Structure 1
Amino acid sequence: MQLGGELDLATDPDLRQGLHQVLQDGARVVVLDLTDVAFLDSTALGTIVWLHEQLQPRNGHVRVAVTRPLVLRVMELTSVDRLVRIYDTVAAAEADLAA
């Protein structure tokens, strides 16, 4: 799922709606492309954690592609990077899943 701009309280309802649909479609693996995300707040981080929790019972995984240092730093400071694997590109995330 490709995302861009700012992920925050204002945009979270749309993000959650999209993720609910992905889950309803039966996804076990979700790759979030955050390479075009300039900012994310605690609401967005909570949604990523929520997605991780939804996929665990399915033996599923969340993978995240991040290139912006600010976004990566927020994920590290909040330890979200310990729940989900982070990659430089979507291709790297997909390759790891295929391995």
Structure 2
Amino acid sequence: MELLMSVRPGRGCTVLEVSGELDMATSPQLRQALQGLVDAGDRQVVVELAGVGFMDSSALGALVEMYKALRAAGGRLSLAAVQAPVRNVLTVTSVDRVIHVYDSVQAAEADVPSADDATIG
């Protein structure tokens, strides 16, 4: 199955919409797309997974790797609109304890730290 991705601006973040299966064949595309966002200066990234019904360990690795890259750059990676089979993978592997998972993109956007939050402290 072909992996489709598109980027759009969100409220205080960048949204990467992903559709297809995330597996060993497609996870490099996901990693490359996320790395491109980091390289472009995006720091608050929400990955919308509403169109993803399958995710394997290689895709989990890509997400964790890019979570760490964004965190090191002072940003955050979040997941949104995750279907039940993918949510089960995130739960079983405890990745959902590290990367924030939201029911919708709107919920993820509402939880994006504002620029004011970043300057406090």
Task: Identify the residue that residue 54 of structure 1 maps to in structure 2.
Answer: 69
Q: Which runs of 5+ in 1 are unaligned?
A: none
SS of the residue 1:97 aligns to: coil
Larger Rg: 2
How many Å apart are 1:68 and its aligned residue? 1.3
Question: Could you tell me how far 1:24 is from its partner in structure 2?
Answer: 0.7
Task: Give 1:31's aligned residue.
Answer: 46
Tell me, which stretches of 5 or more residues in structure 2 are unaligned? Answer: 1-15, 115-121
Question: 1:11 aligned to 2:30?
Answer: no
The residue identity in structure 1 corresponding to 2:90 is M
- Alignment partner of 1:88 is 2:103: yes
Partners of 2:70 and 2:28 lie apart in 1 by: 19
User: RMSD in angstroms over aligned alpha carbons?
Assistant: 1.2
- What's the TM-score once normalised by structure 1's chain length? 0.93
Q: Name the amino acid aligned to 1:82.
A: R
Please give the secondary structure, in 1, of the residue aligned with 2:53. strand
Report the Cα distance in structure 1 between the residues aligned to 2:63 and 2:53, rounded to whole angstroms: 16
- The ranges of structure 1 where at least 4 consecutive aligned residues each deviate by more than 6 angstroms after the TM superposition are none
The structure richer in helix per residue is 1
Normalised to the residue count of structure 2, the TM-score between the two structures is 0.77
Matched, 1:41 2:56: yes
